[in-house]
Structure 1
């Protein structure tokens, strides 16, 4: 069984380990990170076009941009898009969506996160679990909510929430 945790904190178990079709996977991501219907369709289209690379889907947190600005969020998204890329290449989706990022392997997402943490520590917050255990220090508002989609076949995707902007 695979467990998915949605933005409301509720886990949902699925009885298969084989992944889901792009439409179902994009809907799962939408529920996890709060994508609009329009962005869910964009993600489904992107998953249909993608081979087997992992994808990081990001939804910027409006509460964070109200404090730090959309321009600051865009600069951080650009850092993700250009991480380990030779200019002018970017890892954004081909259609220029600054919230869908393709990586060669999962460890590249972790390495990118480490670089973003070093460059923009104000984008990170304590995880809900850390706050529940009494941790203090960092703000409670992350820059964005994220999910990783692993392509496990041409028509099969595995979705996981990814706490990219949490400590």
Structure 2
């Protein structure tokens, strides 16, 4: 499967020209985000994006040398995904950005983000918050979230935690 990066990633500016324009420099007022009414017992909900692992790896390959001075050849796929997350934190100011796993649904099937493992199937997620109070209360500002959504190239939604 070929994963293309959204056009905004190709002309990504990693250092803001002015601190006034960087989402992290704005006053932190959490974005409006209603909790879903359906909450499965014992499972968290994650608000974020289903993401191709290949997208994260390519993102890290393109930006890790400029951001951290890392040589992409020296890192495995798992490390690159975490480095991509750290780069996205630096760009957006979303400090609680996490990698998570969600249950398979129609959106993930349509986006081709389902991962099939011998034990289970799941959806890799890039989450900005969860339904747990501390995480939910630390959700990003609207400007921070919109910057991330622009980079990802599609809307976010609530995902049910993968329980396998």
Q: State the TM-score bracket (shorter-chain normalisation).
A: under 0.3
Q: Report the TM-score when normalising by structure 1.
A: 0.25
Question: TM-score normalised to the size of structure 2?
Answer: 0.26
